[in-house]
Amino acid sequence: MCLTITCHSCLLTFQVYDVTPFMDEHPGGDEVLLAVTGKDATNDFEDIGHSESAREMMDKYHIGEIDASTIPVKRTHVTPQQVPSNQDKGDDVLIKILQFLVPILILGLAFAIRQYTKSE
Ligand code: HEM
């Protein structure tokens, strides 16, 4: 089902239209209707300068009203910044030490093996 919402100029009541059966017949095409589905399409509808007969046609697809005051305000979710824990800091230090120590240990081992094989 495809809903297009258009509101009164008083902005207190939203008129809801189910334009599904009208999609194929709409002279402006179905893309424009799909683009405004589920939102207030008043400006989009008015900008076209629809004729009086177009406005009369709307009655056919009218399915109800929504009280504008009952529509929840859109909230944007802000992810709280992660505070690095002390455990994370400890892990970072350990990784840095290992990054430094491991190559030195490998070099030392290679050197020791070389010394050992030389003396034999
Ligand atoms: C139930 C809602 C709607 C009905 C009954 C309807 C009806 C019509 C009709 C009968 C026409 C032919 C021109 C005229 O008589 O004015 C038309 C054209 C058009 N409509 Fe709609 N319309 C509706 C919603 C919308 C919406 C929401 C939009 C925009 C997002 C839109 C965009 C257009 C466009 C672009 C044209 C073509 C205008 C042109 O070629 O000059 N219509 N519509």
Q: Does the pTM of the predicted model rise above 0.80? A: no
Are residues 61 and 115 both part of a single domain?
no
Q: Does residue 68 line the site of ligand 1, with CB under 6 A?
A: no
Q: Is the dihedral of CA 27, 30, 34, 37 positive or negative?
A: positive
Q: Are 103 and 57 in contact (CB under 8 A)?
A: no
Are residues 59 and 13 both part of a single domain?
yes
Ligand 1 pocket: which of 18, 50, 60 to mutate (most atoms within 8 A of CB): 50
30: CB partners within 8 A, 6+ apart? 23, 24
- Domain count for the chain, please give it: 2
Summarize pLDDT for 36-94 with one digit per residue, the tens: 888 888 889 989 999 999 999 999 999 988 887 887 777 777 777 766 667 777 788 89
Please tell me the distance between residue 94's alpha carbon and the centre of ligand 1 in angstroms. 67
Domain of residue 37, residue span:
3-70
Q: Which residues of 84-98 are buried (b: 16+ CB within 10 A; e: fewer)?
A: eeeeeeeeeeeeeee
Instruction: Give nearest CA residue, ligand 1 atom 32.
Output: 28
Summarize pLDDT for 8-21 with one digit per residue, the tens: 555 678 888 898 88
Are residues 66 and 7 both part of a single domain?
yes
**Burial (CB count <10 Å: 0-12, 13-18, 19+), residue 17:** buried
Are residues 20 and 41 both part of a single domain?
yes
Q: Are 8 and 15 in contact (CB under 8 A)?
A: yes
Are residues 46 and 66 both part of a single domain?
yes
